[in-house]
Structure 1
Amino acid sequence: MLAVECGTDVRFEGEDNIAVYASSDWAERGFCKTCGTHLFYRLKGSGEYAMPAGLFDNGDFMLKSQIFIDEKPGFYSFAEQTRNMTGAEVFAEYGPPPE
Structure 2
Amino acid sequence: MKAQCVCGETILEFDLIDHNVNACHCSICRRQTSGVIMTINIKQGSLKFIKQDHLSIYNSSSWGERSFCNVCGTNLFWRTKDQSYCNINVFSLDQTIKDLNFNMEIFIDNKPNFYSFNNSTKKLTEEDVIKLFNAQSED
Normalising TM by the smaller chain, what interval? 0.7 to 0.9
Structure with more relative contact order (C-alpha pairs < 8 Å, separation 6 or more): 2
Q: Which structure's residues are more often strand, by fraction?
A: 2
1:27–1:44 CA contact under 8 A, matched in 2: yes
Gaps of 5+ in 1: none
- Aligned residue for 2:73, secondary structure, equals coil
**Which segment is superposed worse, 65-74 or 47-56?**
47-56
With the length of structure 2 as denominator, give the TM-score of the two structures.
0.63
- Percent of residue pairs identical: 31
- Between the aligned partners of 1:58 and 1:10, the Cα distance in structure 2 is 19
TM-score by length of 1: 0.86
Q: Give the 4+ runs in structure 1 shifted more than 4 A.
A: none
Instruction: List aligned pairs for 1:1-99, cutoff 5 A.
Output: 1-8=37-44, 9-56=46-93, 57-60=95-98, 61-95=100-134
In the alignment of these two chains, the number of paired residues is 97
In structure 2, the gaps of 5 or more residues are 1-36
- The CA distance in 2 between the partners of 1:82 and 1:66, in whole Å, is 7
Report deviation, 1:31: 0.9
Provide the aligned C-alpha RMSD in A.
1.8
Shift of 1:45: 3.3
CA–CA distance in 2 between the matches of 1:35 and 1:52?
Answer: 15
